[in-house]
Amino acid sequence: MAMSLGSGGEDELNSTINTTPLVDVMLVLLIIFLITIPVITKTVKVSLPKAANIPTETKPENITIAVDAQGNIYWNNEQVAGRDQLVEMVKAEAIKDPQPEIHIRGDSNSRYEDVGRVLYSVQRGGIVKVGFITEPDRGMRGSR
């Protein structure tokens, strides 16, 4: 074993940083990430549908049923006397070929029960295509 002592009588300090351990640790971390990333991202390959936010086109044969905050029901802007009349109106439209779509517009302050009863009446009438009309979310609009 040999030991290197300074050529002079003074003690000389080595002021350089040994980066070999740092590089070794970084290479080990890189290898760990390269091995684990493909395991994490492995998923079942499926063909996902393409989504587009297209506004609903209101066709003349579509029927709009609105429910206001008091629970009143409107058939294309005309008030309906009750749920029984609504069922009869839906039955009259359900026999058409092709069946019209029904769009339900519920007031944001209406009770869910009122909108649910309208949906149940539409279902009893025999209409297959039912949709809900909402306003697009334009960001945060204050707290409720």
Q: Collapsing DSSP states into helix, strand and coil, what is residue 69?
A: coil
Q: Is the pLDDT of residue 143 over 50?
A: no
Q: Is the pLDDT of residue 85 over 70?
A: yes
Could you list the residue range(s) of the whole structural domain that residue 98 is in? Answer: 63-132
Residue of higher predicted confidence among 83 and 55: 83
- Look at the pTM and tell me if it is higher than 0.85: no
In a domain, 106, yes or no: yes
Number of structural domains the chain divides into: 1
Q: Which residues contact 133 (CB under 8 A, 6 or more apart)?
A: 56, 64, 103, 104, 105
In a domain, 42, yes or no: no
pLDDT recorded at residue 144: 45
Helix (H) or strand (E) holding 84: helix 83-94
Q: What is the pLDDT of residues 51-71, one digit of tens each?
A: 566 666 666 688 999 999 898
State the chain's mean pLDDT as an integer.
80
In a domain, 19, yes or no: no
In a domain, 125, yes or no: yes
pLDDT recorded at residue 54: 64
The one-letter amino acid at 26: M
* CATH number of the domain to which 107 belongs: 3.30.420.270
How is residue 95 written in tokens? 């026999």
Give the separation between CA 29 and CA 36, rounded to whole angstroms: 11
pLDDT recorded at residue 27: 94
